[in-house]
Structure 1
Amino acid sequence: MRSVKVFLIDDHKLFVEGLTSILKDKSGLKVMGFAFSAAEYLDIADTVQADVFLVDVNMPQMSGIELTRLIKEKNPQAKILALSMYEDSHYIEKMIQSGASGYMLKSANIKEMVEAIKKVAKGERYLGDEVQKAVFEKMGSMDFFEAQNETNTYTLSKREKEILALVVREYTTQQIAEKLFISELTVETHRKNIWAKTKTKSIVGLVKFAIREGLVDY
């Protein structure tokens, strides 16, 4: 079985170096590298190949919330596991809404950390034990991800809005790729996400959605 490729983004250097050292010895995981800030990661983003990104929520200049949104916009298939010292429900909600697949505390033991990484890599959701308690106290239920998904049904990224505007103007996948300087595969991935988020089943439905959201004028 192929090892899960992991990349860390956290401004706490000792934490990153320590966690990197530990994860390197764990079967089934391969640490691809790390960055000590969002800016440092963005500078090398095009060269990073990872299945799971471990992202610190509270970083200076650009938070993990904003960075997660950017990572998912560039690569919708990327899996994000949020790391934080706080089980504040506000941070949890914002990270999940931004596209994170899981959230756990930095104080979690390494066994739980490895389990979380592997689950997220497989497309599953994960909330650490203490995080689950915080969510339950606020919502009174554990259907947290479902609630966030309902909230985000119509939340399109900037790139998805650009592509939707071109789709309803009858641009082909190739034309969109050329206009936005991205690959046709990336365009197709975004189109699938647009269909899923808008819950439309036809071009007519997409046009109605685009008009309602002010993305095109008719």
Structure 2
Amino acid sequence: METIRVIIIDEQPLFREGIRATLQRMGNVEIVGESTDPMEILDLIKTSEAEVALIDAGLTTTDPLEIARLARQHAPRMAIIILTPSEDEERLFQSIKVGAAAYYTRNISPDELMEAVQKVSQGEYLIKDDVLARPQVASRVLKSFREMTVEEEEPEPKETYSPLSSREVEILDYIARGNSNKEIAKSLKISDQTVKNHITSILKKLSVSDRTAAVVHALQHGWIKIKMPDS
């Protein structure tokens, strides 16, 4: 079992101790750093080679979303888990934009936390279906990423290989525009079951659990570019 290197960025000593004790139960986790000082955190991000960073969304010593952004910039393979005091749609939206792999309230159970750390360390994207199913959040996320793909005149190099077929990309485009399975089937003149089969394949290839996460994940990796809908 490969060791998972983890950074803990949390201001509350008792909660931090709980995280540490929980992750140590996994047997394959090494806590490689704990800090709330901005300069120390940046140094940990750059030098620790951690696979996972747990970030308290309630940090007062620095901006937690800026820390997440810097982590994605300096250690793009490091998975970010945001732990928030309460579910907040604006914070969720911003967390997704900066590339967080998971977003949980701080009442997450020890078993859920251990499972999340294990999965994100393997590249899975865990923004949950019940969260992204909120229409306002999903529409804002998708609109934001569509605008980013249109506005970036000189985008940074991204991963160009796509594991998706051209038909799967086409279906993701319809999903991003808010179409249901039935509407996609009608537009593409295929059966509802064929659409479901394609979506199942997409979710499996991208290791995500829902349609919106699939679109966001593909956009983040530069595999697809969604055109803005005609005004």
TM range (shorter): 0.5 to 0.7
Change (3 A) 1:39 1:84: farther
Any conservation in 2 of the 1:89–1:138 contact (CA below 8 Å)? no
RMSD of the TM alignment (CA)?
3.3
Any conservation in 2 of the 1:8–1:16 contact (CA below 8 Å)? yes
Q: Which residue of 2 aligns with 1:12?
A: 12
In structure 2, what residue type is equivalent to 1:78? Answer: M
Tell me the alpha carbon deviations over residues 119-173 of structure 1, each in whole angstroms, 9 at most, x when there is no partner.
Answer: 1111111136xxx5454344487x99767654544687xxxx7xx6xxxxxxxxx
Larger RCO of the pair (alpha carbons < 8 Å, separation 6+): 2
> Does 2:158 correspond to 1:192?
yes
| Cα distance in 2 between the residues matched to 1:145 and 1:12 | 30
Q: Which residue of 1 aligns with 2:21?
A: 21
SS of the residue 1:107 aligns to: coil
Change (3 A) 1:33 1:152: same
Where does structure 2 lack aligned partners over 5 or more consecutive residues? 162-220, 226-231
| Cα distance in 2 between the residues matched to 1:30 and 1:144 | 36
Q: Which residue of 2 aligns with 1:102?
A: 102
SS of the residue 2:27 aligns to: coil
In structure 2, what residue type is equivalent to 1:13? Answer: P
Tell me the alpha carbon deviations over residues 35-87 of structure 1, each in whole angstroms, 9 at most, x when there is no partner.
Answer: 13434312444332210111111212422111111111112221111111111
| Cα distance in 1 between the residues matched to 2:224 and 2:132 | 27
Any conservation in 2 of the 1:84–1:104 contact (CA below 8 Å)? yes
Q: Which residue of 2 aligns with 1:2?
A: 2
Alignment of 1:48-197 (within 5 A): 48-127=48-127, 133-139=130-136, 149-150=145-146, 152-153=148-149, 191-193=157-159, 197=222
In structure 1, what residue type is equivalent to 2:123? Answer: G
SS of the residue 1:77 aligns to: coil
Tell me the alpha carbon deviations over residues 76-113 of structure 1, each in whole angstroms, 9 at most, x when there is no partner.
Answer: 22111111111101101101101111111111100000
After TM superposition, give the deviation of residue 25 of structure 1 in Å: 2.2
Percent sequence identity over aligned pairs: 24
TM-score when normalising by structure 2: 0.60
Change (3 A) 1:30 1:40: same
Change (3 A) 1:80 1:155: farther
Q: Which moved more, 1:90-99 or 1:34-43?
A: 34-43
Any conservation in 2 of the 1:135–1:144 contact (CA below 8 Å)? no
Q: How many residues align?
A: 166
Any conservation in 2 of the 1:54–1:80 contact (CA below 8 Å)? yes
| Cα distance in 1 between the residues matched to 2:151 and 2:6 | 27
Q: Which residue of 2 aligns with 1:178?
A: none
TM-score when normalising by structure 1: 0.63
| Cα distance in 2 between the residues matched to 1:140 and 1:5 | 31
Where does structure 1 lack aligned partners over 5 or more consecutive residues? 165-189, 201-218
In structure 2, what residue type is equivalent to 1:191? Answer: P
Any conservation in 2 of the 1:37–1:59 contact (CA below 8 Å)? no
| Cα distance in 2 between the residues matched to 1:61 and 1:148 | 28
